[in-house]
Amino acid sequence: MSSCSHSRLIQEGDIEKIAWLINKRSGILIKTSEMTGLRNKVAIRLKALNFDSDRYLKLLTDSGIDSHREWNTLIGIIAIGETYFFRDKDQLNIIKYSVIPELLKTESEIRILSAGCATGEEVYSLAILLKESGYDCSKAKIYGVDLNEASIAKAKRGVYTSWSFRGCSDKHREFFAKTDNTHWVIASSIKSMVSFHTLNLVVDELLHLGYFDVIVCRNVFIYFDRASIQLVLSKFTECLKPNGFLITGHTELCEQNMDKFEVINYNYGVIYQLRSNFSNFRSKDKERVVSSSQSQVNLVSQDNIDMVLAESYYHLGQLDEAQVALMKFLLKDATNYKANFLRFLIAKKQGDTKQAKERLGELIFLYPESPDPYIELIKCLLQDKEYKASSRLLSVVSKLKTLSPQNKLEIERLSSVCSSCRE
């Protein structure tokens, strides 16, 4: 069968479900104009596996090793890994002439993260910049992370063809040795400054790699939806040191809330500096910087994957499977707000009002300052015509200090429903 005929094996609505899963798993947004491309790529996978889309969806939402392997393959096909040495020299000059000298004033140990580093060219370019600055490089550590396992494997090898050097001056070529007519390998003095990890910025814990003076995340957010950018930004905020720098592609954060950062404008670009009061870093945390062994990173990923799976199953309407994944997650993190809220949503979707109310009661007990469980419980009570209890809860929730404008609107609406029903 051709990939075109396999395209016919994609049932209606399944390609949208696959796009949704890709977004939840990686942050990558498949735009409407890219759906045909995705359909063709999935058709090729269906052909290779001899699957229809229903079976393929089951594989993607499974938690076994085969599912993990298929995700690697799919991400490898979908994620754009375009990169080269010394890409965007203006930005690198800002790092070289402003950021590094600033750090050298106070920091003895410089820690940089390249998030979404693809095949490692950006990481090695940063290491070369540090070396050129005359800094004692035995004290520098540059981490490269990417969710694409094949890219990270290539980065670790440190062997490149001329295509990777298309933005690189002859001066910088001195840091590479020719291995044959077409390949160059990075110098061991540079390699010793870096370390690479397979890590998913959306799903995995980042803080396990420790705190950073600089996070470089270029040409990654352009492929993300807004919510995923916010999520990753909050992780960056969490693991930047006070006054740490965030450097992204030129316009990648234009529409984001950057309140926690100072925006520093240069002639050739903009960088962001975390306001010190928003950093979680305390000097005693230096000792807490955890060894970044691959196994640790994977361990954390696996924990979060149960939650991602639970959400995926829930949205696909596979509630039993969602429940199983969720319980696995809750065994490790019993009081997690998001997981407990999902437990309520599952009970609600199953039509089990009693369970749903119990879950909301637990959430209110665990998180008395969170408005959403109260609002959901009021909706359930109104449905059951329990108007007295509804108005009691309405007066409690109205007094919470954590109400968002949407919460306030919803409370107003529920109050008027409640009073019109009581009359």
Ligand X SMILES: C[S@@+](CC[C@H](N)C(=O)[O-])C[C@H]1O[C@@H](n2cnc3c(N)ncnc32)[C@H](O)[C@@H]1O
Residues of the shown chain interacting with ligand X in the complex, contacts defined by CB under 6 A: 26-28, 79-83, 87, 116-118, 122, 146-148, 151, 200-202, 218-220
Classify residue 166 by its DSSP letter: T
Q: What is the largest CA-CA distance in the chain?
A: 87
Q: Which CB atom, from 208 or from 343, has the smaller least distance to ligand X?
A: 208
Return the H-helix or E-strand segment holding 278.
Answer: none
Q: Which CB atom, from 186 or from 220, has the smaller least distance to ligand X?
A: 220
Nearest distance in Å: CB 160, ligand X: 13
Q: How many CB atoms are located within 10 Å of the residue 199 CB?
A: 27
Phi, psi of 279 (to 5 degrees): -85, 140
Nearest distance in Å: CB 64, ligand X: 21
Contact between 411 and 397 (Cβ < 8 Å): yes
Nearest distance in Å: CB 57, ligand X: 20
- At position 27, the amino acid (one-letter code) is G
Q: Which CB atom, from 148 or from 273, has the smaller least distance to ligand X?
A: 148
Q: Which CB atom, from 242 or from 269, has the smaller least distance to ligand X?
A: 269
Pairing between strand 176-178 and 240-248?
unpaired
Nearest distance in Å: CB 265, ligand X: 21
Say how far apart CA 146 and CA 205 lie, in whole Å: 13
Pairing between strand 240-248 and 184-186?
unpaired
End-to-end CA distance of the chain: 67
Nearest distance in Å: CB 14, ligand X: 22
Q: Which CB atom, from 125 or from 391, has the smaller least distance to ligand X?
A: 125
Nearest distance in Å: CB 115, ligand X: 7
Nearest distance in Å: CB 199, ligand X: 6
Q: Which CB atom, from 146 or from 306, has the smaller least distance to ligand X?
A: 146
Q: Which residues contact 347 (CB under 8 A, 6 or more apart)?
A: 355, 356, 358, 359
Q: Which CB atom, from 167 or from 242, has the smaller least distance to ligand X?
A: 167
Q: Which CB atom, from 147 or from 239, has the smaller least distance to ligand X?
A: 147
Around 413, how many Cα atoms within 13 Å sit in the side-chain half-sphere? Answer: 9
Return the H-helix or E-strand segment holding 360.
Answer: helix 353-366
- At position 408, the amino acid (one-letter code) is K
> Which of 71, 72, 135 is CA-nearest to residue 103?
135
Nearest distance in Å: CB 249, ligand X: 7
